[in-house]
Amino acid sequence: MDKWTPSLVEARLAEAAFVLKRLPEPRRRGYFSTWPEIIHSFGDKVGQKPRPMRVLPSPQAISRMEETLSWTVGLDPVDGKIIWMRAYGERWKTICWTVGLQRSAAHQHWLYGLCVIALRLNRRRFNPNLSKRKVIELARGA
């Protein structure tokens, strides 16, 4: 990637969250069943809910997801939580209840976190004492 922008960072985080949702559930090692798999007839399946199909992600998508997981390490925990909740598609109302911020403040934390990640990925230095608005302007102007 030549130039990271906050919107590209947001798209990559959303892809990582989507890949995490599609990964198979972890299983305990050492436990298995010796019973044969039960084959249901049509009459048995009439009242059952269909099992959702699981499409496993590609190895390239898993590699990008693993790279993305480390992006929020240096952020404030509130910013990281807001970023990942938005990546998972949570509504702003739920995010505000969870974090305890108003909508405008939560949005500013989210945008600030995306801009900090974009600046780090572009290897640009910035003063951590700058206000959130200055960092957002710095990332958008770059």
CA gap 12, 97 in Å, rounded: 25
Residue 16 vs residue 53, higher pLDDT: 16
Establish if 32 belongs to a structural domain. Answer: no
Q: How does residue 125 score in pLDDT terms, banded at 50, 70 and 90?
A: confident
Average pLDDT over residues 4-23: 93
Instruction: Kindly state whether residue 122 falls inside one of the protein's structural domains.
Output: yes
* Residue 31 covered by a domain: no
State residue 53's pLDDT score.
76
Q: Answer yes or no: are the C-beta atoms of 3 and 141 closer than 8 Å.
A: no
How long a stretch of residues is the chain? 142
Q: Is the pLDDT at 62 greater than 90, yes or no?
A: yes
50 occurs within a structural domain:
no
pLDDT score of 142: 55
- How many structural domains is the chain composed of? 1
Confidence of residue 133 (pLDDT cuts 50, 70, 90): confident
Is 83 part of any domain?
yes
11 is a domain residue: yes
Q: How many CA atoms, within 13 angstroms, populate the side-chain half-sphere of residue 52?
A: 6
Domain extent for 75: 6-22+57-141
What distance in Å separates the CA atoms of residue 26 and residue 48, rounded to the nearest whole number? 25
Task: Evaluate if pTM is beyond 0.85.
Answer: no
Query: Using CA atoms, how far apart are residues 99 and 116, in angstroms rounded to an integer?
Result: 19
In-domain check, residue 73: yes
Helix boundaries (H) for 23-131: 42-45, 59-69, 77-87, 92-99, 103-121
Indicate whether 95 belongs to any domain. Answer: yes
Regarding predicted confidence, which is higher, 132 or 95? 95
Q: How many CA atoms, within 13 angstroms, populate the side-chain half-sphere of residue 104?
A: 1
pLDDT band at 1 (very low <50, low <70, confident <90, very high): low
Do residues 52 and 70 make contact, with C-beta atoms less than 8 angstroms apart? no
CB-side exposure of 45: number of CA atoms within 13 Å? 7
Distances (CA, A) of 81 to 87, 111, 139: 10, 13, 21
pLDDT, residue 92, reads 96
Q: Of 13-17, 44-48, 125-129, which one has max mean pLDDT?
A: 13-17
Mean residue pLDDT across the chain: 88
List of residues 6+ apart from 5 with CB closer than 8 A: 118, 139
